[in-house]
Structure formats: C-alpha cells, structure tokens
Amino acid sequence: MTYLPAIYAQFRERYPAIAQAVDALSGSLHEAGPLDPRTRRLIKLGIAIGAGAEGAVRSHVRKAVAEGISRAEIEHTILLSLTTAGFPAMVAALKWAQEVLDAPPESGQ
C-alpha cells in the first residue's frame, strides 16, 4: 500500500467525493499535455518546493523514487530551485528530501 500521511487519509475518508474529484482532476491534468511522467514528477517537485509545501515535497520525493528517478536527479531538481524559490526554500526542501531518501522503506517517510 502507498504511504499516506494520517491527515490526508482522514481527508479521503471524511470527504470521499471531493477526494475522487481531486483524483480525477489530477489524472486529467497529467494527460493534458506532451510531458512524460518523469518530467511531470520533477516539475511537480519543483512547484512543491516553490510553495514551501513540506508534505508535497516529501510526497513527490517518495513518488519519484517509486518511479525510478534517482537521488541525484531529485537533488538536482531541488538545487535548481535556489535561484527562483530562494536559499531557505531550497535548503528546507533538501532536508525534507534527504529525510525521505535516507529513511528505511517501512518508516513511511
């Protein structure tokens, strides 16, 4: 089973219709253009970094690893955020990603 943070699992359980609508929208957005899944995942990681969204950064790192994206590619994506999102955002994202990447698989990081 895919790891879901407790609050996200609670949201999905409490608001199933909204969760299904978000899933459908996400699927439609992914299929709306020519970008391949690997490129989309790294872009979404970059967007999460720019938004300062810790949970989303962690989620996209987990998904990137599951999709075969290397640690070096993930870290390079994070480094690229420096000139747009700023040093504090980049360093925070690097910390969050390293915690996910260094965690044992069963930890749910």
Give the number of domains in the chain. 2
Per-residue pLDDT at 100:
96
Place 74 in a pLDDT band, splitting at 50, 70 and 90.
Answer: very high
Cβ neighbors of 71 (< 8 A, separation 6 or more) are 65, 101
23 lies in the same domain as 67: no
The predicted model gives 18-33 an average pLDDT of: 96
- Residue 74: name the closest of 87, 89, 63 by CA: 63
17 lies in the same domain as 41: no
pTM of the predicted protein model? 0.87
Which domain covers residue 19, as residue numbers?
A: 1-33
